[in-house]
Structure 1
Amino acid sequence: MSSIETLVTEVARATGLGPNARKFIGVVIEYIFKQPGGLAGLADRFSAAGLGDIFTSWLSGQPNMRSVDAGQIRSALGGQSIEDIASKAGVSPSVAPTLLATALPPIIRAVTSGGVMPTALPAAFTGLLSAKGKKTSPYRSWRWLLPLLALLALAWCGWHSRNVAKAPPVAAPSANVAAVSKEPTLSFKNTDGKVTLNGTLGTVADKAKLLGDAVAAYGQDHVSADIKVDTGVKQHSWLKSVSVLFPALRQSGLQFALNGDSLKLDTSKLPEPERVAVSQLFQKELGNLEVEGLFDKGAAALGALPPGFSSEDLTQALNQTTITFETGSAVITRSSESILDGAAKAIQAAPAGLRVEVEGHTDNQGNAETNQKLSEERARSVVAALEARNVPADRLLARGFGANRPVGDNSTEEGRAANRRIAYRAL
């Protein structure tokens, strides 16, 4: 595959433009070399916008291409240039900055192949420009074809009358031709404040939003990304949640990987207080996912219970666990399942005759009667989940206390969060 076709394939995949990528690249290249100063003039426009270092990173021979977002593209090129490019390429002006943010870096790298910044369009790229043929009279263009078309029509009619019965039957479409959707992926790694993002998302807009939020949280110089776009990838709700989490994920050594409905979290290089805090953040914002690697002090304490542990040992460990629910409901989040697994195993191994009261508690926000009902429903949900894990029903009791037994200050968000809890008491 030639370098030109490689560029077209790369841009088509990254932008989601598909076959229209060739036209888009041609319009962009034409814009670059027709503006005052050509490619050097474009570099000057980026420098004037404070983006000179980013532009330089796109040149052939530079080790790492830095990402750019739609806002920076608007700042460097200006609204009129973007509108002109959008009009000629046949794309919406609203999405053009995002497309340019994705396509411009590989285009610049391709035209500077060999480490040289050309003063004119390299000959190899002229085939990408739109051909502009000479205008001719429509009548003159078709006049000579009319007699030939008439003869061909007569000939076809004769052939059709002789051979129509021999036409092969049309095959029925296969029942198994539906396209298989792929899962979105994203990996994150923070190394001494430098964030690396890799993965595949379904749209250019998703990619632009993710990179824009990452740059806003960490700074342009601290983000390195390789995010591909594949229109066959499903949309997923976790994208918004990850952007919300970015400002809080500043711990060096933190890593996580998302793949569809599953999350693998690695906090092993963090101090224990940070491991707890980060795990609780993920459990809160991405509780609808199957999570591997949450660090829960209670789960660790349950796993470390010695043989012959007492009822006090058990409840002390259980009361360090964190069970979360979908907002305003008694539906336990998927991220809490592994914690429930450990709790069930420990209760099964508890001394004979021990019963455990599962208590639901809320903060004081909203109606007291509603809070009471919610606390009871959440306690029953936990009991049902433990019974489903083979804990005998006669060893469990569910009770709800609403907002009547706070452990934190309900005037602060931190205190209210502490009050929204599941607690345990030995009977």
Structure 2
Amino acid sequence: MCAWLRAVCRCLHIPDRATGVGSCLGDIPHLIVRGYIMSTIETLISEVARATGLGQNAQKFIGVVAGYIFNQPGGLAGFKDKFQAAGSGDLFNSWMSGQSNKQSIDANQMRSALGNQGVEEIAQKSGVGAKMVPGLLATVVPMIINAVTAGGVMPTSLPAGFASLADGTKRRTPSFRLWRWLLPLIALLALAWCGWQSRNVAKAPPASAPAVNVAAAAVDPTLSFQNSGGRVTVNGRLPTVAQKANLVGALAGVFGTQNVAADIEVNAATRAAPWLERLKVLIPDMKADGLKFAFNGDTLKLDTSALAPDKRAQISQAFQAGLGNVQIEGLFDQGTQALSALTPGASGADLTAALNKTTVNFDTGLATLTRSSDAILEMAATAIKNSGEGFKVEINGHTDSQGNATTNQQLSEQRAQAVRSALIKRGVPEARLVARGFGSSQPVGDNRTEEGRAANRRINYAAM
């Protein structure tokens, strides 16, 4: 037996037992599998966070969806039956682990399979708006199915590790994470080394050519869109053929194949486009004739100038809410109009009336302002600085009634404070701003509906 391998086993704390290195060799496949299993859920969370833009909320969303899947009558098999009944059984089968040709599903197909009741259930438990859930599920469900069907086997119960995700408790990153990957790698290298020594074959290493390859410089993803009379033109640059095909297919599903002209370069050196999946959810909102927009990296320039004011506001609101991880220029709503119309030295009443027409968004369940709210905050800060100085501005945070009342109170206070901090960062004097939270105690909408809950989750302003 290989003495060096025995030393490696001891270093890795793999028991030698009475059988010597043979026991170590027998443990190596187990260690490799263990390393894979331990990393599957963390990898899934990371991939979902990147693909959907959910960020820290990806963990909870995965947990809620996984719980929904396995709570169906018959578990995963029963969940599959929903897709069979909706005519999407072939799509489901393609998501199973080991399948090489995975097919995409769009938001409408996902809603058809789960039904409005299923979508609403997931929305309520995850805290994500019901309008956005089908599009997110179109990305997340195939990834979960692939993750839980290792070896092509459909488990009968929720795999260990998924059940704890939905409670929102942040998973602690295990110590020595690198160790989990180095352990099986070192073990495999040890096996290879011993095999080479046992054959006692001495081969001269081939002459290596000078390294001349230089990694291609990373470039930002880009995408431009224009709707002219129902015919759309898209141009840009994306990292993969699959992403290009999915986007063009989603556009064709709404506008018709004959009405989509696409010139999208595929470049493997392109950075990830975290907004892409969420953009596909917004495609039904892109039917407005004259709509234009352009992505460059994680910045979006939105052009709604050719549209009627009410349509401009509707699309701006949809893009701001749906693309929280993107900095958006060109948003249009009553708030931006009102702020632009303020004169220097505006009164407290005029200023707060304008501010109360604006909307800022937060990551779901958190007090983190989305990047899509940056432009609104810039305008708000400018308006406050230019207003009369004989009053303070009170920033009030409100939530819906979902969840624990104490938690909602804390969240409303944290969100109001986050807006205050953002305005101070943009030059508003601290002494002019006060932040307060009211939890769910002052609703303006019906907490029994998604629309009412959305209205209740708000920031408003008052002059003091």
TM-score, structure 1 as length reference: 0.58
- How many Å separate the matches in 2 of 1:307 and 1:209? 49
* 2:101 paired residue number: 94
Mark the CA change 1:96 to 1:213 in structure 2 (over 3 Å): closer, same or farther: closer
Taking only aligned residues, the RMSD between alpha carbons, in angstroms, comes to 2.4
Match status 1:329 vs 2:336: no
* 1:400 paired residue number: 437
SS in 1 for 2:288: coil
* 1:418 paired residue number: 455
Any stretches of 5+ residues in structure 2 without a counterpart? 1-98, 105-206
- How many Å separate the matches in 1 of 2:302 and 2:381? 23
Task: Give the Å deviation of 1:220.
Answer: 1.7
Mark the CA change 1:203 to 1:373 in structure 2 (over 3 Å): closer, same or farther: same
* 2:332 paired residue number: 295
SS in 1 for 2:349: helix
- Aligned-residue identity in percent: 54
Mark the CA change 1:374 to 1:95 in structure 2 (over 3 Å): closer, same or farther: closer
SS in 1 for 2:287: coil
The partner residue of 2:268 within 228, 231, 240 is 231
Task: Give the Å deviation of 1:353.
Answer: 2.6
Match status 1:320 vs 2:327: no
- How many Å separate the matches in 2 of 1:95 and 1:309? 58
Q: Deviations over 1:151-205 (max 9, x none)?
A: xxxxxxxxxxxxxxxx9x997x79x944311111111111111121111211111
Any stretches of 5+ residues in structure 1 without a counterpart? 1-91, 98-166
Match status 1:376 vs 2:383: no
- How many Å separate the matches in 2 of 1:352 and 1:384? 19
Q: Deviations over 1:199-252 (max 9, x none)?
A: 121111111111111111222222221222111112221110111111222100
- How many Å separate the matches in 1 of 2:299 and 2:408? 31
- How many Å separate the matches in 2 of 1:170 and 1:253? 56
- How many Å separate the matches in 2 of 1:310 and 1:96? 57
The partner residue of 2:233 within 184, 196, 215 is 196
- How many Å separate the matches in 1 of 2:417 and 2:103? 52
- Figure out how many residues of one structure are paired with residues of the other and give that number: 264
Greater shift, 339-348 or 299-308, is seen at 299-308
* 2:77 paired residue number: none
Q: Does the 8 Å CA contact 2:344/2:388 hold for their aligned counterparts?
A: no
* 1:355 paired residue number: 392
- How many Å separate the matches in 1 of 2:289 and 2:373? 26
SS in 2 for 1:417: helix
Structure (1 or 2) with the larger CA radius of gyration: 1
* 2:295 paired residue number: 258
Task: Give the counterpart letter for 1:387 in structure 2.
Answer: I
- How many Å separate the matches in 1 of 2:269 and 2:249? 23
- How many Å separate the matches in 1 of 2:306 and 2:441? 39
Mark the CA change 1:425 to 1:94 in structure 2 (over 3 Å): closer, same or farther: same
Q: Deviations over 1:21-69 (max 9, x none)?
A: xxxxxxxxxxxxxxxxxxxxxxxxxxxxxxxxxxxxxxxxxxxxxxxxx
Task: Give the counterpart letter for 1:369 in structure 2.
Answer: T
* 1:391 paired residue number: 428
Equivalent residues in 2 for 1:17-416 (5 A)? 94=101, 177-416=214-453
- How many Å separate the matches in 2 of 1:313 and 1:96? 53
Mark the CA change 1:339 to 1:231 in structure 2 (over 3 Å): closer, same or farther: same
Task: List structure 1 segments (4+ residues) > 3 angstroms apart after TM superposition.
Answer: none
SS in 2 for 1:205: helix
SS in 1 for 2:227: strand
Q: Deviations over 1:322-379 (max 9, x none)?
A: 1111111111111211211111122122222311110001111222111111110000
TM-score, structure 2 as length reference: 0.54
- How many Å separate the matches in 2 of 1:249 and 1:409? 29
Greater shift, 355-364 or 226-235, is seen at 226-235
